[in-house]
Amino acid sequence: MGFQHFVIMSSGCAFGVIILFDAACVQDEVDKSNLIASSFFVMGITTFVQCTLGTRLPIAQGPSIVFYPVAIGIMAGDSLECPDLQVKDNATLHHNGTLAFSQPGEKIWHRRVGQVAGTIAAGSIVQLLIGSTGVMSHLLRFVSPLVVAPTIFLIGFSVMGAVLNLCAPQFYISIVCCILIIVFTYVLDRVKIPIPYFSIRNRKPLVTRFAAFSTLPILLSMAIMYALCHLLTVTNVLPSSPEAWGYGARTDIKSSAVLNAGWFRVPHPLQFGSLSVNGPGVVAVGCAILVSIMESIGDYVTCAKFCGSPRPVGFPMNRGIAAEGFGCFLSGLFGLPVGPTSYSNNIAAISMTKVASRRVMHATSAIMVIFGLFPKLSALFVCVPDPIIGGVLLATIGIICGVAAGSLSSVRMDRPRNAFVFGFSVFLGVVVPLQIKASRHRDATSMSDSAQAIAMGIAQDLLSNEMLVGTGTALLLDSCLPGTRKERGLEAEAEGADSVTPGSCQTEAELRWQVDCYESTAFHRFYSRHLPLFPGRLSERRANAVCENRETAI
């Protein structure tokens, strides 16, 4: 079961880094393998921390797409060129206020990725504080679906350029791969493949049925398309000239990645060089973290429902947010340009398999860590032709844009106010960054290191981020324009916040999401009264009051 969860999330864990290779100027296949291996290693540790000390729910952690626009924006504003040159200076102050340190011999992509990783590590402090103080429950009162929907939509729009670059070498391959994913996910989702096996307990052969199409649609589509591309390669249907269209779909142009990758490598902090912090990027990372938190809260509630556990309100949710903040800091420390979030596909697998166990997810995290120790295994993802990866991202990014529309289900979109807030926020989130990026290219030659130029660079970095502009506009309009909480969809989200598991009246102390190693320590006795991370006397009295009110009503 642990390996099945690993297979489900492995593609997302690998593609979460692959999509940023072009923006980061990562050209060497061995470097790509090491980045993917580090992603598996760090996400495995984060998954273990989430299941053991966080929400204590069987939730897998993987790279979050909300960090892609931030990473692409930061690297687009870097003054370094993409060719793999050697950095000779030890410190450089860019016009946008970025202070970057490097060592002689570092590659350019080390510096670019280090800038994103350092910014994510600095921004993770926001998530750690939100989880440790429990302030998210107060912030959610002001963040309506009208703010979340434009943000999610602009996330998908902002990575459109990177996806099209992957599809460009052979667009037909990408389209077919995307169609296969759609068919497997929505047409053949109920088809189960019979798998024979021998039962030791019954001492006879038996047959089980596995919903392979709905469980592994991405990996199956990739396998089919890779076989097709390999067939077209050996028959020389695909051109052998690098300048010809379609050459990028050949399977032999990256075959050296597995041969050149190392057998064993232990990822470690600062493995790709020193880190730097982009000041404006920290603000964008903070917005991305808020979106990631809201997404994770929904995953926590859904996973608890499938596990038969009570709604994780209060301290377990705060611990989960803090655990993801720790994962963001760990990702930045290890030089990864992405941060973690909970994976909904693994939660869906729990509902299908009816197996909800932390031990299973612990096994998954162990497999992820082991996978990250062997770069040759990670190199298998590097060998996949870019058009296949582009086809996978076409389908997944499309789903994410659809989620934006689904988040508006509780909002009265027939009201002109709500339609204006959503449409105008998306429009500004698209138009303003395009204009800022165009003006930046025009003024690039006239920029200097004066204070005015630095301030202008910081403003341009902030306004060139689609997600930041769209979220800020939606939050401002939704807070200022008159409208009832019901019209904005806030009352629907607030329902059930203080609910107890149906059919029972168990107190929060009885259902405590406890961390056993802390229950009998002085740490727990002191901090349970001050930090909203562990059950204390206040939460027990509150839960007892809820139960008494319910019994009185009955």
SS3 content of the chain, % helix, strand, coil (to 5): 65, 5, 30
Do 162 and 71 meet the contact criterion of CB atoms below 8 Å apart? Answer: no
Interatomic CA distance for residues 366 and 5, integer angstroms: 12
How does 522-552 read in b/e, with b if 16+ C-beta sit within 10 Å?
eebeebbeebbbbbbeebeeebeebbeeeee
Do 81 and 109 meet the contact criterion of CB atoms below 8 Å apart? Answer: no
pLDDT of residue 552: 44
Contacts of range 4-7, beta carbons closer than 8 Å, 24 or more positions apart: 4/215, 4/349, 4/353, 5/60, 5/346, 5/349, 5/360, 5/361, 5/364, 6/364, 6/367, 6/368, 6/371, 7/216, 7/219
Interatomic CA distance for residues 111 and 144, integer angstroms: 38
Helix (H) or strand (E) holding 545: helix 537-553
Instruction: Give the side-chain half-sphere CA count within 13 A for 136.
Output: 29
Interatomic CA distance for residues 349 and 189, integer angstroms: 13
pLDDT of residue 452: 65
Domain boundaries, the chain: 2-191+203-492, 500-553
How would you write the pLDDT of the chain (554 residues) with one tens digit per residue? Answer: 677 778 777 777 887 788 888 888 888 878 888 888 899 999 999 999 988 888 888 888 888 878 887 888 788 765 555 654 444 344 443 434 444 444 545 677 888 888 889 999 998 888 888 888 877 767 767 778 888 788 778 877 877 777 888 888 889 999 999 999 889 888 888 888 888 888 787 788 888 888 888 777 888 888 899 999 999 999 988 888 888 888 888 888 877 777 777 788 888 888 888 888 887 778 888 878 887 887 787 778 777 777 777 766 667 788 888 899 999 999 999 988 888 888 776 776 676 666 777 888 888 899 999 988 988 888 887 788 889 888 888 887 777 777 777 778 888 888 889 899 999 998 998 888 888 877 765 555 455 555 666 667 667 767 777 877 888 888 889 888 888 888 887 776 555 444 444 434 444 433 444 554 445 455 555 555 555 555 554 444 444 444 444 444 44
How many other C-beta atoms can be found within 10 angstroms of the C-beta atom of residue 379? 25
SS3 217: helix
pLDDT of residue 528: 53
Interatomic CA distance for residues 495 and 512, integer angstroms: 21
Which token pair is 144? 């309506």
User: 208 forms bridges with which residues in the sheet?
Assistant: 195
pLDDT of residue 44: 92
Interatomic CA distance for residues 200 and 197, integer angstroms: 10
Q: Where are the alpha helices (DSSP H) in 134-197?
A: 136-139, 145-158, 160-167, 171-186
